[in-house]
Structure 1
Amino acid sequence: MPTRDRRRFVPRAIAYFLRQDHPRKELVIVDNGTDPVDDLLSTLPTVRYHRVTPGITVGAARNLACELASGSVIAHWDDDDWQAPDRLTRQVGQLEAARADLCGTTSVLYYDPAAERAWRFTWPSGLPRWLAGQSLCYRRDLWLRSPFPDRSAAEDSVFVRRLADRSHILTTPGDPLVALVHPRNTVPKTSRNVYCSPAPMAEVRALLGPDLGFYLTGTPQGCGRQGPR
């Protein structure tokens, strides 16, 4: 989980990690912000914090997190996304069942709480292979062969594109996460894209359940409970 000056979101991201139903997990946090968030972290041994010089790229932060990880499978954990409680179980199981190298979604549900609207971005099947960066789950050996480029935009797209022709890649069905739209997104999010279509708010409410209150008021609600899957 690379993070940079997102103090409000970090406790929520950690809570989503802790309630994952996968029995073996660790969260590696790489903080390159000007406001260190180590004071917000749990003392649980499954959460590890690493502070780096402010200003390094997202690609460099991802590479460092992969290097520090002790497991054989890596899952991206964006600090501002909602995560389904079974996301890790779902994606790790998918990799192992098919003996695949990499999985992720080609369709992402975006939620803008300030405007109370949502939309879905869906990548067409006829175009070169693409997976949503925040949804990636892959074997650490894959990263060792092809690390992330030293850049802060589209580093995940380049990673997938480099591997597309020489790796076993799967599409994860459903919505293992919901991408949050807010003023501090690393890359500004917009629904004005030919691959975007409006999504009903009922879909967001069904997924987030009691977690929805956090995004509407900033007050944690149901943080320790597992929402709908």
Structure 2
Amino acid sequence: MPPNLSNSPIIRIDTPLVSVITPTWEREAMLPFAYRSFAHQDVSACEWIVIDDSATPSAFMASLRDPRVVYRHVAQRMSIGEKRNLAADLARADVIAHFDDDEFYAPDYLRTMLDQMKAAQADMVKLSAFFLYSRVYGKFAWWDTLRKSGLHFRWSRQPMTSLSFPAEHQAFADNHLGYGFSYVYTKRLWAAGPFEPSSFNEDCAFALAARAREANLLLLADDIGLCVHVLHAYNTSASFPQYILPDALVARHFPRLAEAMREMPAIVRPDAV
């Protein structure tokens, strides 16, 4: 279990550079781990907005004494898109970043994404290639979503299989715009086209609508271990990485990723945040 950071030094800010938003549902065990990802970011001028529609409010969130944290417990169940919209509406910063409650974000994640976004004068930046960890298989992998064809591995709650996709594989035509765990975008972009009130594919629909408005979307390949997209037994969707990474390689070259996965608590509720 990650350490409780509720006694971390208080950092007071007037206007944050970035608002981190997290929709959650029945993930009390994961919230300390998610908070640690936020609290360890080397961008201090940030806020964390958590929208929680669990049956009861979070005891952990109530224990925090960090003025950068905004926690809202809502009585009725909401879709992921609705929770993202509520959090984005509350955001005080001009830039919004997604932190899902079951992913790991390294301390330099926000700074790197913000720097790249600023350099490209982008309206939105996301990872098009990223690390994955399957808690079902106990393995790391890497997926370049811009490579649509060729050998891929199907990672889900089921046994792993290998697939070879043809060129111009239509099912993957826009999948590089989905996987919203790594979305960073301007609040102005969100205001022009909020998320659909859905819990499936609302992220890709958001990015597709932004592209249709000719927004400047920047895609980045993570080859340094900025974050890990974590798969578990309750995932309803599949991922299709091209590379399975040997444990020794991860331990040597990406030790913080391996350590984070060892410390991540068990997920005991279905994947429907």
**TM beyond 0.5:** yes
**Aligned residues: CA RMSD:** 2.1
Q: Which amino acid aligns with 1:168?
A: N
Q: Does 1:32 pair with 2:82?
A: no
Secondary structure of 2:177's partner?
coil
Q: Does 1:77 pair with 2:126?
A: no
Q: Which amino acid aligns with 2:199?
A: S
Aligned CA distance change for structure 1 residues 140 and 72 (closer, same or farther; 3 Å): same
Deviation, 1:209, is 4.7
Q: TM-score, normalised by structure 1?
A: 0.84
Q: TM-score, normalised by structure 2?
A: 0.71
Stretches of 4+ aligned residues off by more than 4 angstroms: none
Deviation, 1:202, is 4.0
Q: Does 1:199 pair with 2:199?
A: no
2:109 and 2:227 in contact (8 A); partners too: yes
Match of 2:190 in 1: 143
Secondary structure of 1:49's partner?
strand
Identical residues among aligned pairs (%): 27
Deviation, 1:107, is 1.8
Match of 2:13 in 1: none
Which stretch has the larger CA shift, 111-120 or 77-86? Answer: 111-120
Structure 1 residue ranges without an equivalent (≥5): 219-229
Q: Does 1:22 pair with 2:43?
A: yes
Structure 2 residue ranges without an equivalent (≥5): 1-21, 148-167, 267-273
Q: Does 1:210 pair with 2:259?
A: yes
> In 2, distance between residues paired with 1:204 and 1:33?
35
Match of 1:223 in 2: none
Q: Does 1:157 pair with 2:204?
A: yes
Match of 2:220 in 1: 172
> In 1, distance between residues paired with 2:119 and 2:47?
22
1:116 and 1:201 in contact (8 A); partners too: no
Match of 1:133 in 2: 180
Query: What are the superposed Cα offsets for residues 27-78 of structure 1, whole Å, 9 maximum, x if unpaired?
Result: 0000011242144452110111001134210000000000011111000010
Match of 1:225 in 2: none
> In 2, distance between residues paired with 1:53 and 1:202?
46
Aligned residues: 213
> In 2, distance between residues paired with 1:211 and 1:118?
12
2:28 and 2:60 in contact (8 A); partners too: no
